[in-house]
Structure 1
Amino acid sequence: MAVELPTHSFHIDGDRSYSAASLIKIPILLEVFRQAQEGDISLSDKVTIPKEGRVGGAGVLVSLSDQLTLTIEDLVTLMIIVSDNTATNLLIDRLGSIAIQELCHTFKLKHTRLLRKMMDFEAMEHGVNNYTSALDIITCLKVLDIGKEYSQTSRGKMLYILGQQQFDTKLPSRMDQEKVYIGNKTGELPGIEHDCAIIKFREKTAYIAVLIDGLGETESGKDTIAQIGELIYDFLIKDNS
């Protein structure tokens, strides 16, 4: 876990490498907007979604019609708000896994590695996985929110996408989302429960990443993350509500 608050920061095993699960989609989001700013891609570029190669696990594209064309902005939105794995794999193909890894190097992410696509069971059987750490994710969230590497327009779009998150049963679950902005991204695999978020209340901003593995069942992990979210929420609105 790693938390950065307006007045202080702390972490517990924040520099430990974990299986990233869907938190790997945060650096992919950053690379989409980096390439869009550089003119290598346009968010309005059209991408055909072939029926073959669609994957499940999370998302909606796997169950939609045979003939489907979406924009890159549509894909990145689906990747974040419903964690769509087909959209993620198409973006990896379009951006290039090497470019995504170079972005991780540029931002000095010590543990974040994209080594396989989503739902690549063959790779997983051979021990090939994606990795990150809580402190790496905090770095990504801060770059996304306030990093000078991105224009105000790009940062605003990324924050808007994060804020449309549909999976809100972890960090946001005990917050009054009418009072605060929260943009989060979850991750799950067997025995793994993750969530990360940017939380804003008036002039205060908190960045938080909670990564939990080794779970025998998932509910305890989700409840722990929800409790942490509630504590951060209470801290932000204290004396200011």
Structure 2
Amino acid sequence: MFRKTILVFIFAFCAIAIAAQTSDDETKVLDAKIKNAIKGFKGDVWVCAKNLDTGKDYALRADEQVRTASTIKLPIMAEVYRQVEAGKFKWDHKLTIPAFDPGGGSGVLKEFTPGINIDLKTAVIMMTVVSDNLATNLIIETITADAVNKFMAELGLKDTLSMRKVGGYESGGLSTALKEDDSLRRFGLGRSSPRDMVKLLELLENGKVVSKEASAEMIAILKRQQYKTGLGRNAASGVQVASKSGWLDRLRSDVGILYTPGGRIAMAITVDNMETANSNIDNPGIQLVWKLSEILQEALSK
């Protein structure tokens, strides 16, 4: 009996060791593929990805703090849901289109006639689905950047900060963190890390942001994303993508979940400090985000 127990123990130990070695080898292969893909890229790259069903993951500079660009709108959306759930605002709360807003850039609300009202729910959808900057500014005026930051801290996302409204330091809506630390200006609209963003996506997918129902609604909004040149580019038939992208001068970023046959894969990819700035679909940064997402999807969905 004792001998049988020892044999069972040895067999189990060997199986675990082999599995660990296989996992180790797979990570090395994936790491080599990622580094080969970014070889020669003129800029910096940060990556974090996790299969939420198997636990397989990959990280490259994932704990470093990066400029978020518009991906900070995901944490902002989460705080709106929290405040509505808490009864501070209702979804039909009215927001008025101003005569002027410094946000500019992406979105369609800037084309609306000043004085027109939209409801809070519409603003959240516009902010997320078409990355509307005016919608974002109206929301920050309503809920405050400080409230966003407090909620992210409560979720354990220590690297994530909403800094201000869209349109520069003078646009207003400054967070207390930005007022007290001028060095944070370099992050622009927001700061986070790839690992923080993947954690937030995992919390959402598991129904742990605000409530199960609120989390599901936010995921549904992310699935309506109109900018799919990064994670959602050429997605295979049947693969849904829930994502939020961001871009600035020399930065491109995308965070989201790919619902693949091999599992739900959460990803956060940022490329920054590119040599040149251009906004076309062939931008080398967004091309790299797309390429990396395909490599990660193939490796982590096995």
TM-score normalised according to structure 2 size: 0.73
8 Å contact 2:207–2:216 — kept in the other structure?
no
Match of 1:42, SS?
A: coil
Residues 209-220 of structure 1 mapped to structure 2, 5 A cutoff: 209-217=268-276, 219-220=283-284
Structure 1, residues 98-155: CA drift from partner, whole Å, max 9, x if none? 111101211122221222211125479x762321110111111112221434333212
What's 1:179 paired with?
A: 238
1:65 partnered with 2:113: yes
Structure 1, residues 35-59: CA drift from partner, whole Å, max 9, x if none? 1111111122222222222531111
Matches of 1:229 and 1:32, distance apart in 2: 29
What's 2:28 paired with?
A: none
What's 1:43 paired with?
A: 91
How many residues get paired?
Answer: 236
TM-score normalised according to structure 1 size: 0.90
8 Å contact 2:241–2:256 — kept in the other structure?
yes
State the Cα distance separating 1:174 from its structure 2 match: 2.4
Matches of 1:53 and 1:104, distance apart in 2: 27
1:207 partnered with 2:261: no
What's 2:136 paired with?
A: 88
What's 1:167 paired with?
A: 227
- In structure 2, runs of 5+ residues without a counterpart are 1-46, 173-181
Find 1:131's aligned residue among 172, 191, 207.
Answer: 191
Matches of 2:121 and 2:240, distance apart in 1: 22
8 Å contact 2:254–2:270 — kept in the other structure?
yes
Residues 173 and 71 (structure 1), Cα distance of their counterparts in 2 relative to 1, 3 Å cut: same
Matches of 1:227 and 1:202, distance apart in 2: 19
State the Cα distance separating 1:213 from its structure 2 match: 0.7
8 Å contact 1:54–1:62 — kept in the other structure?
no
State the Cα distance separating 1:94 from its structure 2 match: 0.7
Residues 232 and 10 (structure 1), Cα distance of their counterparts in 2 relative to 1, 3 Å cut: closer
Match of 2:233, SS?
A: helix
8 Å contact 2:258–2:265 — kept in the other structure?
yes
Residues 202 and 150 (structure 1), Cα distance of their counterparts in 2 relative to 1, 3 Å cut: farther
What's 1:4 paired with?
A: 50
Matches of 1:230 and 1:32, distance apart in 2: 32
Paired-residue identity, %? 28
Matches of 1:196 and 1:211, distance apart in 2: 9
What's 2:74 paired with?
A: 26
8 Å contact 2:137–2:166 — kept in the other structure?
yes
Give the partner amino acid of 1:33: Y
Give the partner amino acid of 1:96: T
What's 2:34 paired with?
A: none
- In structure 1, runs of 5+ residues without a counterpart are none
Matches of 2:235 and 2:208, distance apart in 1: 29
8 Å contact 2:149–2:161 — kept in the other structure?
yes
Structure 1, residues 74-114: CA drift from partner, whole Å, max 9, x if none? 00101011111110111111112211110121112222122
State the Cα distance separating 1:229 from its structure 2 match: 2.1
Structure 1, residues 184-209: CA drift from partner, whole Å, max 9, x if none? 11111111010011111357211000
* Bigger radius of gyration among the two: 2
Find 2:290's aligned residue among 210, 226, 238.
Answer: 226
Find 1:119's aligned residue among 167, 171, 180.
Answer: 167
State the Cα distance separating 1:65 from its structure 2 match: 1.6
Matches of 2:217 and 2:75, distance apart in 1: 15
Find 1:193's aligned residue among 240, 252, 271.
Answer: 252
Matches of 1:75 and 1:188, distance apart in 2: 20
Give the partner amino acid of 2:111: S
1:153 partnered with 2:208: no
